[in-house]
Structure 1
Amino acid sequence: IKPLDTPLIGATKHMPSNRIRSKEEGVINKVQRIINKEEVEEVEATIKESLVTNSENPAATAVGIKSIIKIFEENIHAITPLVYEKILSFTKYVSDEVIIMAITEAVNYNAKNIKYISSVINSWISEGIKTAKEVVTYQKKWNSNNSSSSINSGSHSVKSGSFCDYEQRTYDFALLEKQLLGLT
């Protein structure tokens, strides 16, 4: 057991509270935080400018990326650095209008997150879609395929050789009712 007059070491070391600090030190810390925030904003602005200018896609203009970010922030959530980088990576493969169409689709299906937008854009990239016109054509084709399949799903169509390839039974409900009541 150590005597109480020895200084404490490790996790038990006493930290001064905010109430003990002088007011001048608190003001200096507040000013320092403001300066640091301004420095961070300047660095983020230069990073964004360098990313926009160093983009491999010449069609990805700063105006286009700004409009994407504006639409994203208005409809989804505030832009974060990771989301910004992901959007920039998409501009290498598809046009700005395609990204905006993906954001619109996410809003329409109430899936307001970058994961859904990424999956939509990635599926379009895998289909070879790069422009807004190609997206519209693809969506028309996809909608027509789904509407025709939903019409067919109403009738009982089963492939032969599958598990349930038997014929659907038909019943004469009037005859069944007479049998239940004992009239026949």
Structure 2
Amino acid sequence: MAKYRQLQTYFWDDSFILDLDTQEKCFYLYLMTNYKSTQCGIYELPKRIIELHTGCSRENVDKLLSRFQKWGKIKYCEDTKEIIILNWLKYNQPNNTNAIKCVNKELKSVKNREFLLDFYNQCQKYDLDMESIFKDMEITAVKTSPKSEAPSKPPASNKVISNKQELINNKQKTISNKQLEKAIKCFENKIHFPKQEEINRLNSWCSTMGCDIVIMAIEKAVQYNAKNMNYIEKIMNNWIKDGIRTAENGFKKNMSGWNLTNERKYDFKELERKLLGW
């Protein structure tokens, strides 16, 4: 089965990328897209493989890896021959069920425990579904000594972060992710598989107006055969102008009696009439 890696078009306009020379740009692009790369951004990549793929000498490979480690973009483990791309989740977040299952499977094969902790911290930073991503796994918080790559002994107060604890501590976060997943699923079924930029925009609208209204806007766009994110956002911007912001309070103003929790069967002409004040 073929594998694909997404690359944002504005990758080339990134301030960090603009400052790299040609060889450094190609090398960084290689690290993100080579056939051994994974959906979690942690994978085994022996230096001999890098030599064969890129045509670089071992000395040059060592220099390039050292540079990107110094710049804080990657970490490379000589013992396990594994690499982690540290800002991978910035543009490759697992926001659907299949992607989360894939990442969970990949993480279970990672040998370097420090890399797992780095990935865990990234997931927290981006408010991802921790319980699903780390299902059947336990991550121990270990701090690394600044003078050595070997992890120091964890303090006695450190606790193993279990799935149950994470579920309790991030209950609201999990609910939010499930709401976003509903909107993404609707977008995927009605329009197309969303790109990362579209997922980010859906996430923003779900946070602002709620999942139910976002889904209604998607369905309305489909009804008028305007299957694109810009039209969906135009619909929601119009609703905001009419004071409709959330399913709990906005619809009480213009659409009292509408049920947003049951199956979505709407009279869109009547809805539009009410929204436009006709």
* TM-score (normalizing by structure 2): 0.34
**Comparing both structures, which one devotes a greater share of its residues to helix?**
1
**Comparing both structures, which one devotes a greater share of its residues to strand?**
2
Structure with more contact order per residue of length (Cα contacts < 8 Å, sep ≥ 6): 1
* Rg comparison, structure with higher value: 1
* TM-score (normalizing by structure 1): 0.49
